[in-house]
Amino acid sequence: MMITTFCNSMMITTLCSRHSEANDDYNFMWRSSMVITTFCSSMMITTFCSSMKMATFCSSMMMATFCSSMMITTFSSSMMITTFCSSMMIATFCSSMMITTFCSSMMITTLCSSMMITTFCNSMMITTFCSSMMITTFCSSMMITTFCSSMMITTFCSSMMITTFCSSMMITNFCSSMMITTFCSSMMMATYYSSMMITTFCSSMMITTFCSSMMITTF
């Protein structure tokens, strides 16, 4: 604006003075005014272009700032999503750990319960069997030594790994003397001792159901 005002004043001064000057002076002043006008016009164009460049630069700066803010917003959003996903993974991991712990405790509880039931049933079987059958008299009358020798009980026990089985069931002494548990499973004790009234004993104790439900052989 200052350059434009200066140019206008120069042009007015030149036009006013041309009437009081000689023709040569008029021509000189006219050429001078044209030069000044052209210079001023070029200055105005330069100023205009500079202002346009500045405006463009400012616009680009604003755009860059906008893009940067968008990138920051996008980055923040991705960080939030990542944090959310991480928290979900942690929550899932914790849930799975809780489920695993719960399942493990349930398995331990079930194992302990089955051990208690097994121990209880074994003690009941031993006590009832000994009391009802009078095992001492039964062994004496049946000549258990001769019977074991004839059945080759030593070889049978070795092949069935009765020692390991008895140790795990905590009835080593009873199994060693009678070999009743493995013998019942392998030889179908109910059928073998049907003449000895073992069927009534097995029915009363539900030994078949117990063996099936507790999977005593696998255990």
Domain boundaries, the chain: 2-76, 134-219
Is residue 122 within 8 A of residue 171, CB to CB? The reply is yes
**Can you read off the two tokens belonging to residue 75?**
């980055």
Neighbour-count burial of 47, counting CB atoms closer than 10 A to its CB (0-12 exposed, 13-18 middle, 19+ buried): middle
pLDDT 10s per residue in the chain (219 long)? 455 555 555 555 555 555 555 566 666 666 666 666 666 666 666 666 666 666 666 666 666 666 666 666 666 666 666 666 666 666 666 666 566 566 666 555 555 555 555 565 555 555 555 555 555 555 455 554 555 455 554 555 455 555 555 455 554 454 455 555 555 455 544 454 454 454 455 455 555 555 555 555 555
DSSP class per residue in 55-83 = HHHHHHHHHHHHHHHHHHHHHHHHHHHHH
Q: Is the pTM of this model over 0.85?
A: no
